[in-house]
Amino acid sequence: MSNTIRSKILIIEDDPGICTFLHATLTAEGYDAIVVSKGSGALEIVASHCPDCVLLDLGLPDMDGNEIISGIRRWSVMPIIVISARSMEQDKVQALDLGADDYITKPFGTDELLARIRTALRHRRTASENDEAALRGSYHVGDMVIDYRKHRVCIAGETVHLTPNEYKIVALLGLHAGQVMTYKAILRELWGPSASTDNKILRVHMASIRRKIEPNPNEPRYIFTEVGIGYRMADNED
């Protein structure tokens, strides 16, 4: 990781203990960390600092963190990682559907947090090079290669025979590797805003995809299920 330009991380969190921990951890890791402890005024601070990533607590004393997600998404695609004590699947799905990039449930480990931040920052760079560039290239993880130019997926050099819809699902998850995508987001991306919200169709496709790409479909190596939420493609950590 480059030390020449320090990525700026804005922490929006009211718990003083967690703020101190996050600030110390991120500073030690070479990030420029800024703490905001209230919801009111947070959007203005986000706008004035233009951070590279926002860590956002949903349970703020004066505001629901979801309002901040919606507020940021009106003008920016900057990465937002939700840090929440809310472990209900519905809360996570809501935050992700409003535009959060990822979520971590308290209590969380330092390694997990740092890995999620690295993933978010990497996606920010990809996004700045725009999706078309990503679509011209390929994504490699383990023995799998998604070739976006040829619309092909290979495992250990062998082409996998995916249906067009199966390919679209794998390709989409590959563009968001390391990040959870909700069922709704996947359906919307693939079949438009009026797509059915029935997850069953996705589960059927996923079962078939796994039979084709996973050495052991019961212990997926490439596409993980986030129970009740969606799917996450395995990420390369370097």
Q: Which stretch binds Ca ion (CB under 5 A): 11-19, 32-40, 133-141, 146-154?
A: 11-19
- The vertex-51 CA angle with 50 and 57, nearest 5°, equals 120
* Residue of closest CB approach to Ca ion: 59
Provide, rounded to whole angstroms, the least separation between the CB of residue 23 and Ca ion. 15
Q: Which stretch binds Ca ion (CB under 5 A): 51-59, 62-70, 98-106, 116-124?
A: 51-59
Provide, rounded to whole angstroms, the least separation between the CB of residue 172 and Ca ion. 33
Binding of Ca ion by 91 (CB under 5 A): no
Binding of Ca ion by 14 (CB under 5 A): yes
Provide, rounded to whole angstroms, the least separation between the CB of residue 94 and Ca ion. 16
CB-nearer residue toward Ca ion: 86 or 176: 86
Nearest to 115 by CA among 24, 56, 184, 53: 53
Give the containing element (helix H, strand E) for 32: strand 32-36
Q: Which stretch binds Ca ion (CB under 5 A): 59-67, 104-112, 153-161, 222-230?
A: 59-67
The site string for Ca ion over 94-123 (x = CB under 5 A, - otherwise) reads: ------------------------------
Residue 61: C-alpha distances to residues 38, 72, 73, 92, 167 (Å): 7, 19, 21, 19, 44
Spell out the residues 6+ positions from residue 75 whose beta carbon is closer than 8 angstroms to its own.
47
Spell out the residues 6+ positions from residue 230 whose beta carbon is closer than 8 angstroms to its own.
93, 96, 180, 181, 182, 183, 184, 185, 186
Task: Give the tokens for residue 89.
Answer: 């699947």
- Cα 99 to chain center, whole Å? 10
Binding of Ca ion by 59 (CB under 5 A): yes
Amino acid (1-letter code) at residue 30: G
Q: By CB under 5 A, how many residues form the interface with Ca ion?
A: 3
Q: Which stretch binds Ca ion (CB under 5 A): 7-15, 21-29, 183-191, 222-230?
A: 7-15
CB-nearer residue toward Ca ion: 58 or 233: 58
Binding of Ca ion by 57 (CB under 5 A): yes
CB-nearer residue toward Ca ion: 57 or 235: 57
Nearest to 231 by CA among 81, 93, 109, 127: 93
Binding of Ca ion by 37 (CB under 5 A): no
Task: Give the tokens for residue 133.
Answer: 């560039």
Q: Which stretch binds Ca ion (CB under 5 A): 6-14, 24-32, 196-204, 209-217?
A: 6-14
CA max distance for the chain: 55
Binding of Ca ion by 35 (CB under 5 A): no
List of residues contacting Ca ion (CB under 5 A) = 14, 57, 59
